Structure 1
């Protein structure tokens, strides 16, 4: 799990460096979305920051089983395809996290 923890830290750093990080959380209603990746209420960077990172870190800290078969990279590619800033390193980190979480 230490590799995953390191990758989560790298993801946070990349989100910050790219200017995607926010100090203001989305509304509780936005965070409560039942849609995959909260596509109806959050941008990909918001979902990564406020849901994905927090849930994975909480599972690691509680020594609970991690989800398997994560496939965030394909969604991230689609969600970021019109982004003006470079997102290649962000996609590489997401892909490595997907790899750590294995196949379903």
Structure 2
């Protein structure tokens, strides 16, 4: 599972880059301190994916910690990216695979 999840996280990073949503600059410490789901009050979803979710899951994998098993990132992504062009489709597909992977019993 850890190898599969690592590949899924790499797919999301690649999809962010292909969609032009990859950021070279990390969010501010204040933005990172948000307690809202998806840090929706302090950063765009693509930054949350890149600077919060992916590093957190990578840290959990490296430490052998239990992974979350009830996630629903796709509905938020579909809402945020509604109406975008087809360049966003690989990102949505990668998020779908991540949701499915983490929600397996």
Instruction: Report the CA distance between 1:83 and its aligned residue.
Output: 3.0
- Deviation digits for residues 54-95 of structure 1 (CA, Å, limit 9, x no counterpart): 100110111111011110000000011143462111111101
SS across alignment from 2:90: helix
The corresponding residue for 1:89 is: 90
8 Å Cα contact 1:68/1:103 also seen in 2: yes
Q: Distance in 1 between matches of 2:57 and 2:76?
A: 18
Q: Distance in 2 between matches of 1:62 and 1:71?
A: 23
Stretches of structure 2 that go unaligned for 5 or more consecutive residues are none
The corresponding residue for 2:5 is: 4
Q: Distance in 1 between matches of 2:33 and 2:84?
A: 25
TM-score by length of 1: 0.93
Stretches of structure 1 that go unaligned for 5 or more consecutive residues are none
Q: Distance in 1 between matches of 2:83 and 2:34?
A: 24
Matches within 5 A, 1:66-77: 66-77=67-78
The corresponding residue for 1:44 is: 45
The corresponding residue for 2:56 is: 55
TM-score by length of 2: 0.92
How many residues get paired? 104
8 Å Cα contact 2:12/2:91 also seen in 1: yes
